[in-house]
Amino acid sequence: SRLVLVHGSLLPGYANATVTDILSDRRTLDHVVAHGAVRYWTDKEALCDETFSLDLQEGFLEQKPSDFASSSSRLATLHFSAAKELIPRIEHNPAATYTFVTGDGGGHASGRRSAMGEVNSHHVWGLSAALRHALSHAGDDKVNCREVRVNLQVNRPFEEREAAPRARPLSEDIGDLCAGVVASGSRVEENGRLISVNSQ
């Protein structure tokens, strides 16, 4: 009954309406888990994660510098606008957490990022580092902010999964790890930590 499904955007200009829709009727917010390079639930073979929303009309080196500036910061801008809307709603809760989940898989069905997807992923890593630093020095209204960086390939091709199956889906382990990180939100010494996952 607490699962709320919302179709919306967290890009600048849309984030406020999306967050307001989700948290209407005085719903409380205790924890935020912000995923980078999310693979959307869809039947499509491609065009199904946020790295495909970069408005690229030409190849990487064929872009104009102005187009590069916009496209290269798309995911960091999305996550920044979401944080601007969500952190004020949790910052007075002593047990609140804000967790970035980043990784090395990119969310592509092929298991490989585009060139611009690589740039955007690193921008999200930088935003996470900046936000972890800022929130760990925020005075009394600290939000425990951490990053879980999954350095394992996700969304492996079907043939690879069939040839070398994992004992348990990586997505389930990531979910359990995030739940554990959220549950330890009151541990002040964990604030600002980067948690690297290098093996399953």
In tens, the pLDDT along 120-162 reads: 888 889 999 999 999 888 776 678 899 988 877 666 777 888 8
Banded model confidence at residue 23, pLDDT cuts 50, 70, 90: confident
pLDDT in tens, 107-125: 444 556 677 777 888 888 9
* H or E element in which residue 197 lies: strand 194-197
Q: Element (H or E) spanning 173, and its range? A: helix 170-183
Q: What are phi and psi of 184, to 5 degrees?
A: -100, 25
Token pair in block for residue 136: 């760990």
User: 165 or 7, which is more confident?
Assistant: 165
Q: Which helix (H) or strand (E) holds 148?
A: strand 144-150
Q: Mean pLDDT throughout 178-198?
A: 78
CA distance 142 to 158: 43
Taking CA atoms, 64 is separated from 59, 68, 117, in Å, by 10, 6, 17
Domain ranges in the chain?
A: 30-197
Q: What is the mean pLDDT of the chain?
A: 78
Q: What dotted CATH number matches 30-197? A: 3.40.50.720
How much is the pTM?
0.80
150 pairs with which residues across the strands? 103, 197
